[in-house]
Amino acid sequence: MNRIESLFEQFSRNGRKALMPYITAGFPDLATTAALIEKMPQCGAAMLELGIPFSDPIADGPVIQSSFTQALAKGLKSKQIFKMLTDVRKRVEIPIAVMVSFSIVNRLGPEEYVKSCRDAGVDGLIIPDLPLEEAQPIASLIQQAGLSSIMLVAPTTPIDRQDQIARMSSGFIYYISLTGITGEREQLPAELVDNVARLKKVSGGKPVCVGFGVSTPAQVALVSKVADGVIIGSAIIRRISEAEGTGLDGIVAKVSEYTRSLAQALASAHP
């Protein structure tokens, strides 16, 4: 088992749920990204999702799109991200999954990209623009490297297709809580709990984590009642953006305070 599988096996035994912050690589710079990755385990994060900036993001809202644009404007390259991860992995033990466009994977070459991920200490890949019909060769390549191939299910995904996605996924299944783009929401869809429960019936026992729109401690607690993990993205990126003028230490402090509040809500919901 890799780190993701081991984490969920342990959490399943202990009745715990995983908090998974999302961080954009290179926003506002790689030094800040590295500092945040190192700090998040101390704030209650069980694993991390690292977004790889892309010029034409698939479902990312304006907050994450802006972080991508700023990172790319500074000339960010994949090899720089891998170098940063290789260094950070010496000090960070929790699982790290990258969310990356297939265009980036294909540009470097799937075998080379997966190898670079493995060598840098990445534990799983999320490729949101890879259709199910074309995913099997890449999923097999990822899994043969000992990494998790994490696939996405949307509220509009038919149940038979959910079953196919679940069978091809490893590590966990990423459930998108709402249709449309990422971003904070005052309220999550009323049908979210039922939809996740339905997905878990066809998941084959694989963990289900929920992302998109989740931002408040109350929402984290609600989602964790039915999901195995909760992913927080835009709310974290917004706080990084708001704290840019305070320097690296200020950004880390602001994001840390917020992440701790989410971890506390999660712990209270599962004493």
- Which member of 5, 29, 56, 60 is catalytic? 60
> Left, alpha or beta for 125 (phi > 0: left; psi -120 to 50: alpha)?
beta
60 is catalytic: yes
The DSSP secondary structure of the chain, one letter per residue, reads --HHHHHHHHHHHHT--EEEEEEETTSS-HHHHHHHHHHGGGGT-S-EEEE---SS-SS--HHHHHHHHHHHHTT--HHHHHHHHHHHTTT--S-EEEE--HHHHHHH-HHHHHHHHHHHT--EEE-TT--HHHHHHHHHHHHHTT-EEE-EE-TTS-HHHHHHHHHH--S-EEEE-SSS-----SS--TTHHHHHHHHHHTTTT--EEEESS--SHHHHHHHHTT-SEEEE-HHHHHHHHHTGGGHHHHHHHHHHHHHHHHHHHHHHH--
49 is catalytic: yes
- Which member of 49, 123, 184, 228 is catalytic? 49
Alpha-carbon distances, residue 133 vs 40, 98, 110, 112, 140 (angstroms): 35, 21, 17, 22, 13
Give the CA angle between residues 145, 228, 241 to the nearest 5°: 80
Identity of the residue numbered 100: V
Determine how many CB atoms are found less than 10 A away from the CB of residue 161: 14
Q: Which residues are marked as active site? A: 49, 60
